[in-house]
Amino acid sequence: MAYARWIFRGSLVDAYGMALPPVVQAAYGSRVGVELFGVTLFNNGHVMQMLEGEVAVLQKALHDLRDLSKLFGIQRLLEETIDEPATREVAVGLNRFVDEISEHLPPHVKVFTICEDEVCRRTVPGAARNMLLGFI
């Protein structure tokens, strides 16, 4: 199997993050935590997602994200080939409204307050981690 790690960046239609749950659902769909893993960060109206999984699954996720009207300006910032996903969870990092947004996310999605330690705990050293840390 061909696995990859991709990072996307985009902006939400609202600066408070209430449109984030549909973005998470569009990215992962029914594949969340089974075929697709990653970290989604939300900060001041902007979203950065690191997704890991099979290339075909990542392509479907990108297609679904591009079809979503709540996220615009999507740019793919990184595309790496990996042996297997290093992240075995789906996590969402928020800088505010943590409780309000987490209520609308699936229960198996881990929610955390954005900080360097949490991002480092959920990612392996390298370009992807550096980009996520630069985002926060």
How many independent structural domains does the chain possess? 1
pLDDT (tens digit, 9 = 90+) per residue, 115-128?
Answer: 999 999 999 999 99
Which CATH number fits the domain that encloses residue 55? 3.30.70.100
Percent of the chain with pLDDT over 90: 54
Q: Band of the pLDDT at 13, cuts 50, 70, 90?
A: confident
What pLDDT score does 28 carry? Answer: 79
Residue 43 identity (one-letter amino acid): N
Q: What is the pTM of this model?
A: 0.91
Using CA atoms, how far apart are residues 25 and 71, in angstroms rounded to an integer?
12
Per-residue pLDDT, averaged over 37-54, amounts to 93
Per-residue model confidence (pLDDT) at position 63: 87
Instruction: Give the structural domain span for 63.
Output: 3-135
